[in-house]
Structure 1
């Protein structure tokens, strides 16, 4: 890092803090998934509130616990999971630009709603890119490693425009959460496609950025496919895969590029973002659209 360059000095991290942008699309043909922010809408909102390009990298914070010190004057914004944020011990708003004077300490607490908060910094986190992206992929290990205490994360040059003074605070998610799902290429593998939407699913604690596992009544295959094997097919974020036990797995940001279980549906972009914020134990209903 150049002397005098603006940065975030990391003092503490919680369960997981990752550098994320919008990922690396277009390289699945060589076995590399897109990755990127698990909740893309939250990442994009932070960029808009700071009047900068959505491609700039920020920090994805799982369940809070981040403490950083500003090196140089910075402007930041917290979006995504509704977590308390303080600057030098004083509470500051969620979903709005916040000025960090040189040396100020910022802390992000445990969310009261959602899983993943996003700290956008005006100028972006300027670590080295891999295949055109600064995102960390938990499945392949590509990109900058998980953030650790003692690091200095360089911040890029800010855009020339002034930051917006807009504010956007998410409301509480409904319980059960209803997610829209589009028909997948293998929906006919289900004996009763309506069963996917009729069931009350529960997010399990075996969920991560690769995929969200749902627990509920096992889905039954159509008789024609009871013993069928499926060659591996390309996968996308939001794909609803049904493995042999009949309980769906919904792929997340770090999903593999191929999979061998039938994809019976695909969540909408909004649905995939909402599921990325859904903690274990919450009820989820899928709705065919």
Structure 2
């Protein structure tokens, strides 16, 4: 089976749950930015959670199924049609051979996920089929005219009679853990981070979400030797504007990290459009930091 891409849209990539555990070799994690949405799409399509699907930024995808298949669409809500007939997101969808699938522009959020029964079966690189936009590992971005192989289905889709219809919020509150370089900043900088309103900048991509708002002032000037960084790290460049690392972030960085967004909040940030309001709150002290560290090692 295969999926012929008639129109790839603004930015479409193949993504699974990434390449965790290779940062010590300089290999970024990559994988779906909204990992929960991809897991749900795979479940609805009858796939294992780590099957590869398509991450479609701002919709605009048109594809043709060369054989009958099952698919599911999750993530940012928007119009879906199969053979010019409206179809329901977040439900298993039967697609007849030759039918054209259209993923429209989302009404909210940023990224749509499409899973096909059997998964997108491009060759894996270092154990993953994910496109890494920073390192260039994995397949290139999906282009008009591409024909993507689809693997054999491994299970029937589940019985589902109610779609979740999740709506990305207009504003986000993100929990943050202090450190590891919070001592490089003034006490006022930490209070500013927790008390000010920030907004997602248009200069945001799969590598990181740049924010605009009050600058965070340093207590220590000078250069910081490059050191390891993790998913959700809030790095602060020389202009004082926070940058939150997402799935394609580098494995090391030379700017100080004032804090780390709780891993369970990173998926929601992946759906934040430019202009979305961001507020930070300190992660509850009742949550063991070892739990957060373990989440970092397993989160996509």
For the aligned pair, the TM-score class normalised by the smaller chain equals: over 0.9
Gap change, CA 1:162 and 1:200, over 3 Å in 2:
closer
Residue equivalent to 1:115: 110
List aligned pairs for 1:9-20, cutoff 5 A: 9-20=4-15
Residue equivalent to 1:200: 197
Residue equivalent to 1:142: 137
Residue 43 (1) aligns with residue 38 (2): yes
Matching residue within 81, 84, 88 for 2:79: 84
Looking at structure 2, the residues matched to 259 and 172 of structure 1 have their Cα atoms a distance apart, in angstroms, of 34
User: Per-residue CA shift, 1:226-279, capped at 9, x if unaligned?
Assistant: x24211111111111111111100001100000011111111223211111101
Question: With structure 2 as the length reference, what TM-score do the two structures score?
Answer: 0.90
Residue equivalent to 1:219: 216
Residue equivalent to 1:236: 230
RMSD of aligned Cα (Å): 1.3
Looking at structure 1, the residues matched to 228 and 52 of structure 2 have their Cα atoms a distance apart, in angstroms, of 27
Looking at structure 1, the residues matched to 113 and 70 of structure 2 have their Cα atoms a distance apart, in angstroms, of 14
Gap change, CA 1:232 and 1:170, over 3 Å in 2:
farther
Gap change, CA 1:126 and 1:234, over 3 Å in 2:
same
User: Per-residue CA shift, 1:99-126, capped at 9, x if unaligned?
Assistant: 0000011000000011000001110000
How far apart are 1:153 and its partner, in Å? 0.7
User: Per-residue CA shift, 1:146-185, capped at 9, x if unaligned?
Assistant: 1111111111011134433254434333333211112221
User: Per-residue CA shift, 1:29-88, capped at 9, x if unaligned?
Assistant: 221101000111111111122232111100000001100011111100001111210011
Farther off after superposition, 180-189 or 34-43: 180-189
Stretches of structure 2 that go unaligned for 5 or more consecutive residues are 284-300
Residue equivalent to 1:246: 240
- Decide whether the 8 Å contact of 2:44 with 2:157 is kept in 1: no
Looking at structure 1, the residues matched to 183 and 165 of structure 2 have their Cα atoms a distance apart, in angstroms, of 37
Farther off after superposition, 264-273 or 237-246: 264-273
Stretches of structure 1 that go unaligned for 5 or more consecutive residues are 1-5
SS in 2 for 1:103: coil
Q: Name the count of aligned residue pairs.
A: 281
Residue equivalent to 1:173: 168
Looking at structure 1, the residues matched to 163 and 85 of structure 2 have their Cα atoms a distance apart, in angstroms, of 20
